[in-house]
Chains A and B, each alone.
Chain A
Amino acid sequence: MAKRVFKVWRGNPQGGDFKQFDVDVDPGMVVLDVLHRIQAQQANDLALRWNCKAGKCGSCSMEINGKPRLACMTRMNSFAEDDTITCQPLKAFPVMKDLVTDVSWNYEQNKKIPKFKPRPRESDGTYRMYQEDVDRVQEFRKCIECFLCQDVCHVLRDREKAPQHAKAGDKVPNAFVGPRFMIRLASLEMHPLDTDDRIPEIRKEFGSGMCNITRCCTEVCPESIGITDNGIIPLKERVVDRYFDPIAIVGRKLLGIGRRTKARNEGAG
């Protein structure tokens, strides 16, 4: 057992600062274990979120020594023995208390994404899809909604313009949904059964053009999803093909090809 120094941000929407805790750490512990020990012994009311403690639920997202991490997957032996460990809330979202932020904006974005619209079943009542056709979609569906990618996204981090900080009545200059929901859109757009035409919204409502491909989201993804290369860039390409490729536009006009189905407002519900 060794004594370690933790600096944990404590406060509320009005403000706060780092409080120091000296705490005993056992071999094999992760940062979340140490925070729990602080909570049990020194600060019963220290607010933090967690659930599975195995990197599967994405609840314990926070910034540890300045980096967006899952506290349950950050081992204490990944730091030097005399390092001070600082823990603070995600920067891209409004603080509720201590290490807990208001991530409700993300849930609102999810709700805006039109639902999955499968083609009819085969005559034997099944859906046939082959593993190689669903590998990519399964990669996207590994997402645990930890929102670390949203936290590091430059577009969402820009506090002046970021939509998640907007108050009622504010004019919101950018409409980017963020990497998490680009990935969700990609999982629908590339789903072998989905029949909906999602490209117009991906461009307009969800702001695919706002992403400037810095790949920060991909770097922090605890599930190692190829957010930028496998998800966002292919979506951007589909948008470009639809709106900016003259040959494809002419082809579509003449032959009606290039769309999976009618646009939603043209087709029946």
Chain B
Amino acid sequence: MLDVSEIQTIEHDVVVVGAGGAGLRAAIECSAHKLSTGVLSKSLLGKAHTVMAEGGMAAAMGNVDSRDNWKVHFRDTMRGGKFLNLWRMAELHAKQAPDRVRELEEWGAVFDRTKEGLISQRNFGGHRYPRLAHVGDRTGLELIRSLQDHGVHQGISFHMECTALEVLKDGDRVAGLLAYWRETGRFVVFRCKAVIFATGGGGKAWPVTSNSWEYTGDGIAMAYEAGAELMDLEFTQFHPTGMVWPLSVRGILVTEGVRGDGGVLKNNKGERFMFNYISERFAPETAATIEEGDRWLAGDKSARRPPELLTRDEVARAITAEVKAGRGSPHGGVFLDIASRRPADFIKRKLPSMYHQFKELAEVDITREPMEVGPTLHYFMGGIRVDADSQESTVPGLFACGECGAGMHGANRLGGNSLSDLIVFGKLAGDGAKKYVSSLGSTPAPSDDQISAGIRRATEILNRESGTNPYLLHDKLQGVMSRGVGIVRKKDELEQAVHELDELKAEAATMRAPGTSQYNPGWHEALSMRSLLITSEAVTRAALVREESRGAHTRLDFPGESAEWVKYNVIIKKGAGGMEVEKRQRPDGPAHLVAIANAKIEDLESGKVGADVK
């Protein structure tokens, strides 16, 4: 029998899981509140998926176009999210993002500059004005390095290559975390008063994804197991432009900045097909002709933006339709052309990583030739349901921020709103945790039984004589999700996916990882399969329930947005008999915010609507 007292124990007030932008920002806030703070990261510090973010972070600073302000940003976010966003989150985000960006500068970030010496801002899909603070096309690296270099001087304890396995509870509330060190395979118990998840999404359930191995839905799955509610998981964003060739790099992201800086999409007939896919909602604000789009690019403020900069869901669907109609590129994508639009030195200066990435990995010179691109699973809009102001989940003491939290982006996220989401809600989660910790009367304590059960579940995988290879099981899962829960969905396919996921769950119970517990990737893979399976099931079941097409969730059998469904979120919770799915009515938005989100852009800018809203 396992003696729990012999297991390493580390105590903190707050433990943050995840060391990407949200986790680091949350930890910095906790330590600023004088809380003892630990950060767990599966990888080394500074390697989190945030480094892959390219284009920039959206903040209505108005440095490039002074007409911009938080209300326009808020309106863009709600429209991009197809009005399913939590009103309060979209409001907080639009209002606070500029301060969070300026704060990064104070911590050493060096953004690209305007001619006046201010932080430069670039155009992006769905944003009315140039709004993305950026550093070439490596903005994520700048964000993570600035937070990392600031954070190491704040007294935060960084526990690197340490993977969380489950939330430990004392009654209803959080009491700690069970985790293991990847190097030694030894277990460790973190005793703490609050846990902040900043664990990202679960894109690794799909075969074509821009996500790294870390994206296995750990936080979503652990929160679910701990009894927290999940929300909006049917909304999985397919970024329209991932690499499609060679196969080994399929899915790797090609930044939207390429289109923001003038790149255009063409089919194999050389047509700019996006002009054929402008939806009614965006038609009044989108260029009607190529000529108008070109004037916009040249800086004519009376011209409207070209349709390549429509929201990601719209562009991804258009690309899928073109390929299906036989107008795709040789390797099943479409062409993204910036070579014919901008001079070579401009491309190399504004998009250096893209130039490098295509040159090195695909032997394509993007200053001379078009790129081949196609949709790639990129982002989870849904996740752990949280309170908009405190980021607390429905489990007391459990917080979530960044991609693993739900509500900010509704049915579809705008590009650039993710990096700003990380720093806005990372900070708020830190504030929320501080408030919660201060309100606690007694320190919660985890039960030995829960700890030993958790360790037993993890070590079984190493102790089996024979069993399923976790890598092959992962391949199977990706097949199920790609066939059944792709960019367009329908009832019978989703039902089939639920059925196949049940079979995979049974198979997962017999997984085996050969070798010892020391730095054993097979074992790590097997442990993350549990998170992936829970997350995948939640996405699939939520997608089955939402009988409409909205944002990133497209149902062939229920085309178009339904006026009825905008009133509901799909909530998922662990029940006695398994996963429970509920269609839950949303509260109405506050009248002043509803008015801004629905206003005509001219009325908002002239002050006819929203002038009195602060």
B110 x A97 contact (CB < 8 A): no
Q: Closest CB-CB distance, B305 to chain A, in whole Å?
A: 25
A29 x B246 contact (CB < 8 A): yes
| Contact status of A118 and B248, CB under 8 A, knowing A40-B471, A44-B522, A54-B361 | no
B153 x A45 contact (CB < 8 A): no
Indicate the member of B112, B247, B515, B521 with the most A CB atoms within 10 Å.
B521
| Contact status of A191 and B248, CB under 8 A, knowing A75-B361, A141-B135 | no
Interface: A142 (CB within 8 A) = yes
Interface: B46 (CB within 8 A) = yes
Interface: A145 (CB within 8 A) = yes
Interface: A57 (CB within 8 A) = yes
B360 x A55 contact (CB < 8 A): yes
Q: Closest CB-CB distance, A208 to chain B, in whole Å?
A: 20
> In the bound complex, what is the Cα–Cα distance between A107 and B44 (angstroms)?
10
Interface: B378 (CB within 8 A) = no
Q: Which A residues lie within 8 Å of B105 (CB)?
A: 118, 127, 193
Q: Is the interface of A mostly helix, strand, loop or mixed?
A: loop
A30 x B523 contact (CB < 8 A): no
Q: Which A residues lie within 8 Å of B45 (CB)?
A: 107
Q: Which A residues lie within 8 Å of B142 (CB)?
A: 141
Interface: A12 (CB within 8 A) = yes
Q: Please, what's the 1-or-0 string for B94-117, where 1 marks a CB less than 8 Å from any CB in chain A?
A: 000000001001111010110011
| Contact status of A134 and B113, CB under 8 A, knowing A44-B471, A51-B43, A53-B249 | yes
> In the bound complex, what is the Cα–Cα distance between A49 and B43 (angstroms)?
8
Q: Please, what's the 1-or-0 string for B143-158, where 1 marks a CB less than 8 Å from any CB in chain A?
A: 0010001101100001
Interface: B513 (CB within 8 A) = yes
Interface: A79 (CB within 8 A) = no
Q: Which B residues lie within 8 Å of A239 (CB)?
A: none
A55 x B357 contact (CB < 8 A): yes
Interface: A177 (CB within 8 A) = no
Q: Which A residues lie within 8 Å of B245 (CB)?
A: 28
A141 x B521 contact (CB < 8 A): no
User: Which residue from chain B places its CB closest to the CB of A103 in the assembled complex?
Assistant: B44
> In the bound complex, what is the Cα–Cα distance between A96 and B470 (angstroms)?
23
Q: Closest CB-CB distance, A47 to chain B, in whole Å?
A: 4
A54 x B357 contact (CB < 8 A): yes
Q: Please, what's the 1-or-0 string for A75-102, where 1 marks a CB less than 8 Å from any CB in chain B?
A: 1000000000000000000001110100
Interface: A267 (CB within 8 A) = no
B519 x A57 contact (CB < 8 A): no
A45 touches which of B117, B145, B515 (Cβ 8 Å): B515
A39 x B183 contact (CB < 8 A): no
Q: Which B residues lie within 8 Å of A97 (CB)?
A: 183, 518-519
Which B328-380 residues have a C-beta within 8 angstroms of A? 353, 356-357, 360-362
Interface: A249 (CB within 8 A) = no
Q: Which A residues lie within 8 Å of B357 (CB)?
A: 54-55
Indicate the member of A26, A75, A194 with the most B CB atoms within 10 Å.
A75
Interface: B323 (CB within 8 A) = no
Which A157-201 residues have a C-beta within 8 angstroms of B? 184, 188, 191, 193-194
Q: Which B residues lie within 8 Å of A118 (CB)?
A: 105-106, 108
User: Which residue from chain A places its CB closest to the CB of B107 in the assembled complex?
Assistant: A116
Interface: B514 (CB within 8 A) = yes
User: Which residue from chain A places its CB closest to the CB of B54 in the assembled complex?
Assistant: A56
Interface: A125 (CB within 8 A) = yes
> In the bound complex, what is the Cα–Cα distance between A72 and B246 (angstroms)?
13
Q: Which B residues lie within 8 Å of A110 (CB)?
A: 149, 152
> In the bound complex, what is the Cα–Cα distance between A110 and B353 (angstroms)?
25
Q: Which B residues lie within 8 Å of A130 (CB)?
A: 113, 117
Which A113-172 residues have a C-beta within 8 angstroms of B? 115-116, 118, 125-131, 134, 137-138, 141-142, 144-145
Write the residues of chain A forming the contact surface with B, with a CB cutoff of 8 angstroms: 12, 26-30, 33, 39-41, 44-59, 73, 75, 96-98, 100, 103-104, 107, 110-111, 115-116, 118, 125-131, 134, 137-138, 141-142, 144-145, 184, 188, 191, 193-194
10 pairs from A and B in contact (CB 8 Å cutoff): A12-B518, A33-B248, A48-B521, A58-B47, A59-B43, A100-B183, A115-B108, A118-B106, A128-B116, A129-B110
Given contacts A44-B522, A107-B158, A116-B150, 15 further A-B contacts (CB under 8 A): A30-B361, A33-B248, A40-B472, A44-B520, A48-B521, A50-B213, A54-B249, A56-B138, A57-B46, A57-B212, A104-B160, A116-B107, A116-B149, A137-B110, A191-B110
- Top 4 closest pairs, chain A to chain B, by CB: A28-B246, A44-B522, A45-B515, A128-B117
